[in-house]
């Protein structure tokens, strides 16, 4: 086997594993892997940090990034609308538990991938009908997805009118809207 073949072998193995998992993995596994984004488990939070980790060949970070990237691809293999629906279904199920599961963290973090006007409408509709405990856990876990909204003015109005949020929660969420968009990579 030549040197070029050896360097491609790991990428091919990762791709084959991702394809196999997309067919067999249950949705909670996808969201558990996406939970690495917000759990602080060696996940790089900027392209610059990822570049430094690649240069240093820091395996824990690179492995976490590969898991999240593969999970995102598996999520969107269902198509955009179905991926959003599965994300919201996972939030409803995993974020309703007394002890927050990593799948809840991953599903909430995944909301950052859905930032169109139509996505925002679906998310606001979901939040309007979700139990207060689910809404509280969503905002308590990771509000970074909120800084990636298509029309912050519509979110401000929704937050102001929400009967599920305390005055302190509303103020905190308004600040998150003002945080600006995070880079996606």
Q: Which residue has the higher pLDDT, 46 or 134?
A: 134
* pTM of the complete model: 0.73
Contact 182, 146 (CB under 8 A): no
Q: What is the model's pLDDT at position 46?
A: 79
| Alpha-helical segments (H) within the chain | 3-24, 27-34, 36-39, 47-56, 59-76, 80-94, 102-110, 117-129, 132-141, 152-161, 167-178
Residue 3 predicted with pLDDT over 80:
no
Q: What is the model's pLDDT at position 73?
A: 93
Residue 142 predicted with pLDDT over 80:
no
Residue 14 predicted with pLDDT over 70:
no
Distance in Å from the first CA to the final CA of the chain: 33
Task: Report the C-alpha gap between 96 and 76 in whole angstroms.
Answer: 24
Per-domain boundaries in the chain:
3-178
Task: Work out the mean pLDDT of the chain and round it to a whole number.
Answer: 78
């Amino acid at each position: 086997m030549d040197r070029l073949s050896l360097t491609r072998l790991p990428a091919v193995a990762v791709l084959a594993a991702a394809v196999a998992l997309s067919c067999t993995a249950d949705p909670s596994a996808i969201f558990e892997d996406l939970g690495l984004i917000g759990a602080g488990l060696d996940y790089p939070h900027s392209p610059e940090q990822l570049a430094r980790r690649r240069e240093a060949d820091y395996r824990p970070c690179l492995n976490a990034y590969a898991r999240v990237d593969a999970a995102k691809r598996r999520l969107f293999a269902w198509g955009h609308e179905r991926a959003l629906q599965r994300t919201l279904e996972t939030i409803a199920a995993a974020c309703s538990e007394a002890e927050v599961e990593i799948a809840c963290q991953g599903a909430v973090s995944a909301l950052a991938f859905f930032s169109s006007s139509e996505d925002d409408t679906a998310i606001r509709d979901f939040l309007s009908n979700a139990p207060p405990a689910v809404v509280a856990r969503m905002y308590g876990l990771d509000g970074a997805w909120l800084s990636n909204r298509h029309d912050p003015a519509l979110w401000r109005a929704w937050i102001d009118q929400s009967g599920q949020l305390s005055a302190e929660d509303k103020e905190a969420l308004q600040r998150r809207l003002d945080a600006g968009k995070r880079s996606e990579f």
